[in-house]
Amino acid sequence: MTMRLDVEDVQTTKGEKLLAVVLAVFLLIGGVWAYSKIDDAVRTSTPPDYSYRGTPAEQAAVARQEAAFGRLARAERGATRALANLNLRREAYNTALAAHRPEANQLGKTYDRAQARLAQTRKEAAAARREVATTRPAGDAAQRHIGDVRTGRANHRELLAFVFRLAFVFASIAFGYWLLARLRRRGSRYYTVGLAFVAFAAVLAFAMAVDYLTDYFQPLDYGPLAISLFGIAVTLLAFVGLQRYLARRIPHRRVRKGECPFCGYPVRGNEHCERCGREVIAPCARCHEPRRVGALHCGACGAA
């Protein structure tokens, strides 16, 4: 048996409210699972592409820079070893001189060669630093461009996942309010089911907003704002629709309760309202019998 009821007349029981909350929880579990799987599906279908190596000129600039860095590293290691060797030769030479040992002259020559070697390695390191300074601008520019291209491809994948997630959230919100409006128009006792679906969509939208607000991902900064504005707009439209519906139904409800259809004050069988003074009993347009103002049908002839 199906009854058509006014939404404002529906008295939901504690059991119905509990089931609506449970339904919203299970909808949220499934929605969050689908939300996460959207990202997984996009990442699987569009894996990261690091194949871009730059133009031939960029590759040559990067190669020259890397070669210069390699020569600088080798020169600095050579200078470090030459300095350590010089310290050892100096100590040996000074010890031999202090002890008046006959090999002091030979150790002096070895010490001089160590000094020359240190000077040579330092010149090589200085030359390598100048080469690095020369190749750095072109090499850094090439690496930045290559990195930007790779990041752009990665951002494209992230943006694609974001668009699909945003569409899923928008569809959930739109369907929730459509279902709520449909159940309201039909006066269904399943009105709380629509409320549960709207609550699920709102929580899912909030979860997505928090997700992307904490990522600091520049192209998607306006995603949470778009969700917020869309949800606000749909909610306000639903509120306006509900108010219009209530404005049409309130006079009939007041008539059923024996109240003035204009201000809601009890009429107590009078022909005029004791509060606003307006007429609450008027002749029927068809049979001219007395008829309550705001009644859907005449009690004498049944005319609308």
Domain span at 297: 271-304
For residue 60, being part of any structural domain is answered with yes
Q: Which comes out higher in pLDDT, residue 157 or 132?
A: 132
Q: Please give the average per-residue pLDDT across 38-46, as a whole number.
A: 74
| Same-domain status, 133 and 122 | yes
Q: What is the pLDDT of residue 106?
A: 85
| Same-domain status, 165 and 238 | yes
Q: Please give the average per-residue pLDDT across 223-236, as a whole number.
A: 73
| Same-domain status, 209 and 122 | no
Cα 257 to its chain centre, rounded Å, is 50
* 141: phi then psi, degrees, rounded to nearest 5: -65, -40
| Same-domain status, 233 and 251 | yes
| Same-domain status, 135 and 213 | no
| Same-domain status, 249 and 168 | yes
Q: What is the pLDDT of residue 148?
A: 66
Does the pLDDT of residue 159 top 80, yes or no?
no
Q: Mind listing the pLDDT tens digit for each residue in 52-97?
A: 677 888 788 888 888 888 988 998 999 899 889 888 888 888 888 8
For residue 84, being part of any structural domain is answered with yes
Q: What is the pLDDT of residue 77?
A: 92
Residue whose C-alpha is closest to residue 195's, from 232, 224, 228, 235: 235
Q: Which of 111, 140, 155 marks a domain boundary?
A: 155
Band of residue 46 on the pLDDT scale cut at 50, 70, 90: low
Residue whose C-alpha is closest to residue 146's, from 58, 76, 256: 58
Q: Alpha-carbon distance 65 to 135, whole Å?
A: 5
Does the pLDDT of residue 130 top 80, yes or no?
yes
Residue whose C-alpha is closest to residue 188's, from 5, 17, 44: 5
For residue 80, being part of any structural domain is answered with yes
% of the chain with per-residue pLDDT over 70: 83
Least confident of 1-5, 133-137, 195-199, 245-249: 1-5
Does the pLDDT of residue 4 top 70, yes or no?
no
3-state secondary structure of 279: strand
| Same-domain status, 217 and 277 | no
| Same-domain status, 93 and 191 | no
| Same-domain status, 126 and 182 | no
For residue 194, being part of any structural domain is answered with yes
For residue 1, being part of any structural domain is answered with no
Q: Mind listing the pLDDT tens digit for each residue in 211-224?
A: 776 654 454 556 66
For residue 105, being part of any structural domain is answered with yes
For residue 221, being part of any structural domain is answered with yes
Least confident of 40-54, 174-188, 252-266: 40-54
Q: What is the pLDDT of residue 151?
A: 62
For residue 285, being part of any structural domain is answered with yes
Q: Which of 134, 155, 176 marks a domain boundary?
A: 155
| Same-domain status, 175 and 299 | no
Q: Please give the average per-residue pLDDT across 25-46, as a whole number.
A: 80
| Same-domain status, 217 and 234 | yes
Q: Alpha-carbon distance 150 to 145, whole Å?
A: 9
Q: What is the mean pLDDT of the chain?
A: 78
Q: What is the pLDDT of residue 155?
A: 62
% of the chain with per-residue pLDDT over 90: 3
| Same-domain status, 168 and 38 | yes
Band of residue 154 on the pLDDT scale cut at 50, 70, 90: low
Q: What is the pLDDT of residue 9?
A: 47
What is the reported pTM?
0.44
Q: What is the pLDDT of residue 52?
A: 62
Q: What is the pLDDT of residue 140?
A: 83
Number of domains present in the structure of the chain: 3
Does the pLDDT of residue 111 top 70, yes or no?
yes
Q: Which of 122, 155, 188 marks a domain boundary?
A: 155
Residue whose C-alpha is closest to residue 38's, from 168, 156, 155: 168
